[in-house]
Amino acid sequence: MYRRIALALSASLLAAAAGAATLPSHLMLPEPERAARGYVESWVLNIELTGDELSGMEPCRKILAERGFAPALSKTANSASPALHFKIAGHKDYAQASTEADDTLAALQQARCSGTLGWTVTNKTRRP
């Protein structure tokens, strides 16, 4: 059974609230009661960057690739919104809580890529 913990922040909100924002590593902490009963939790960090300007998103795509997120690029447009929109998305599995996830978000923030940054942390629980 999966329990989803999700939080999406725009890049500007992340920059403004860096000291007070919830970080992925905070969400990756195991629940002590479940751990005491033998449940093992692992984590998946999903990161998405969406925007209208691909060239402004390229530095963040490189950061994700360098950090093992295997980013995929998708392009969308439709009759209601004919302008071309881009999304770069990647994910990485973590066996335990890791500040590496926080470091990746900080690197994306410092890169100041165009678009909106969103991320989610999802836990996967294995029964004993």
pLDDT of the chain along its 128 residues, tens only?
333 333 333 333 344 444 457 889 988 888 888 878 888 888 999 999 999 988 899 999 999 999 999 999 999 888 887 888 999 999 999 988 889 999 999 999 999 999 999 999 998 887 76
Query: What's the burial of 71, exposed, middle or buried (CB within 10 Å: 0-12/13-18/19+)?
Result: buried
CATH number at residue 88: 3.30.70.120
Q: Given this model, what pLDDT does residue 127 score?
A: 72
Note whether 6 and 122 are within 8 A (CB): yes
Q: Given this model, what pLDDT does residue 81 score?
A: 79
How many domains is the chain partitioned into structurally?
A: 1
Domain containing 36: what range? 2-126
